[in-house]
Structure formats: structure tokens, C-alpha cells
Structure 1
Amino acid sequence: MDKLIQIQDYNSPYGQLILGSFQEKLVICDWKHRKMRLAIDRRIQTELGATYQFSNSSLIHSTIEQLEEYFKGSRIAFNIPIRFCGTEFQKSVWQALLLIPYGKTTSYLQLSENLNNPKAIRAVASANGANALSIIVPCHRIIGTDGKLVGYAGGLRAKQKLLSLENKAGNTEQLSLFS
């Protein structure tokens, strides 16, 4: 493998992230110390036929700038070119996550219904958990059908803080389910 994925660690206010760019597209913005770290890294490197190399890129720099604006509450959407690495089903779930508005939440059930596959709740949850572009692709906006917080790669504390940030910065009403 001669191709390289440029990666860099980033200490966000919510935890340590790993950022990676490949051919001017962001392929990873993920929690550095998550349970699925090795499996996700393997999936990305295998699909791209590339290996990680610690180095900076203009795209990583832009991503950090946009993340910092987001964390300060002055950015509600990202305009970073991204590339998904996963199955077609996973990519469809991740695309659906991009449609959840800032400051809103939805459930796995609603997400599976939006994908016209209401029986695929577990598969949708699994794809959500395999998201390698956390925050940029807002998997933190998924909550349980009962309105409770459910699993998150960055931990439930980080998830709560991200949802609170969006609720506060977006000047929206209380976090509500998005259909």
C-alpha cells in the first residue's frame, strides 16, 4: 500500500478525536479511544488501499477550524468534503444522519422508517455505531424511542454535552424528536 491517509489527533472540548484525510476528503473524524477503533481503522484502510501516516493537511486544518466554530456555538453545519468507507447500507444510514437538523434528535426506529426499512432497527443502530465521521455526520442526534440517551462512541457524557451545545447554541426549544 503506497497510498496514505493523513491523520492527526485533535483534543476537542468533548474528548480526543482522530482526524484523517485522503485525496482531499475527510474519511475519519472519530473518537480516538472508542471500542471499535481497530475495526474502523481496518475498514477505512482496506477500502482505500491506504495506510495511516501522522501528518497535517489543509483539509484537516479546515476541519479543526470548523469543529472549533461548532464547539463555540457559531457553526451549525459543516462544509467539508467527506468520503464514506463502508457498505452501501451503512452509507445510506450515514446519509440519513446528515438530514437530521441541528438541535433536533431522532430515534433508530424513526431513522429505519425514514430509510423505508422499519424492521432494520438493529442494522441501523449497528451502522450508526460504525460511523467514522462523528460530529460531522451527527450520530449523536440519535436517541432511544423513549427519549433516553443510548450508546455513543464518544460516551454518553460527550453525547449529552453535544446535544446540550446544539440546544443552547441553536436557541431551539427543548430537544425534540425529529420525524
Structure 2
Amino acid sequence: MSTVYFSEYVSPIGSLYVAASEEGICNIAFPGQYESDFMVWLQKNFNSIVQQKTDILRCAIAQLTEYFNRQRTVFTVPLHLIGTQFQRKVWNELIKVPYGTTVTYGYIASKIGNPKAGRAVGGANNKNPVPIIVPCHRIIGQGGKLVGYGGGLELKQKLLAIEGVKC
């Protein structure tokens, strides 16, 4: 546990809060999640919280802006994924899902070598601390059904629409 830095980013989908450790981006909060989820998560995982833009935060915000402007399909900002071994395995697989495509929870479960773990993949998806950059919005239910999203299904649809996915 060390210091985490954060900044507000006014995006086309509302105010996001982006946090970074010295290692990389570790949390992104959707509009309305600042007090309830974001600050609680930061306090749980770091000793010191500083509201200040660092180089990593500037890079992440620039890349997010490019994403929202449909100019970026792959994020290259460093990440510091904090979670269980299983969660990190799922999140690292989510990063491989290409821009503009969707896959199922079962597909991700198969890719991590546990084809019966679709429900557990859904749980890990729900705990993803770095949405958008770790594209959990690209994961859908069987038959193409939109299910569950930390920012709400409307936001999931908006992110998929940015990528040209019809829902």
C-alpha cells in the first residue's frame, strides 16, 4: 500500500474519476460513483490519496478522450490491476477482446481454462476496477443479451455504440 493519485475527467458520458498508483491506472469510477465506490476503494487499497494529475493520469485521460472521439481502439497506458488472482486472470483476458466486438462470459471462462466458470467470470467482471480500459462492457450474455454492468445497461449500450456495436 502506498500513494494513489486521482483526477476528475469530464467525459462525453459524464464525470469520471481516474486513479493511478506509481505502477499504472488502478481505478476508474463512473458518474455518481465518486463517494460510494471510488473513494472507499482507494481508502481500502492505499495509505495516501492525493488529488493531483500525474503523467500516467494525463496519459490515461488523453487516451480516454481519443477513445470517446473514436480515434483509439487499443489502450496502452500502464495498468495496476488490484484484485484476486482469478479476477486479474479474467481482466487480462478482457483486455484481449478487440474493439468493436463482443464475447460471452462463457467464452472468457473457456479462454482462462475454466469453461464452466461463466458465472465467476461475471463476478470478476462486476469487480473490474478499470472499466472502459479493461473493456468489461464488451462481455455479453448468451444469445447476445446485454446483462449487468457497473455503470448500468444504458452506459454499456453507449460504450458499445461508440465502438460501432449494434445492440
With the length of structure 2 as denominator, give the TM-score of the two structures.
0.89
Match of 2:49 in 1: 52
Name structure 2 gaps, 5 residues minimum. Answer: none
Alignment of 1:27-176 (within 5 A): 27-34=26-33, 37-38=36-37, 42=40, 45-47=43-45, 49-167=46-164
With the length of structure 1 as denominator, give the TM-score of the two structures.
0.84
What residue identity is the alignment partner of 2:90?
V
Q: Shift of residue 135 of structure 1?
A: 0.6
Match of 2:17 in 1: 18
Name structure 1 gaps, 5 residues minimum. Answer: 168-173
SS in structure 2 at match of 1:123: helix
RMSD (CA atoms): 2.3
Percentage identity across paired residues of the two chains: 38
Note the alpha carbon deviations across 1:86-124, whole angstroms, 9 max, x for none: 000000000010110110000111111111112212211
Match of 1:171 in 2: none
Q: Shift of residue 19 of structure 1?
A: 0.4
Higher relative contact order (CA 8 A, sep 6+): 1
Whether the 8 Å contact between 1:129 and 1:153 is mirrored in structure 2 is yes
Match of 1:8 in 2: 7
What residue identity is the alignment partner of 2:154?
R
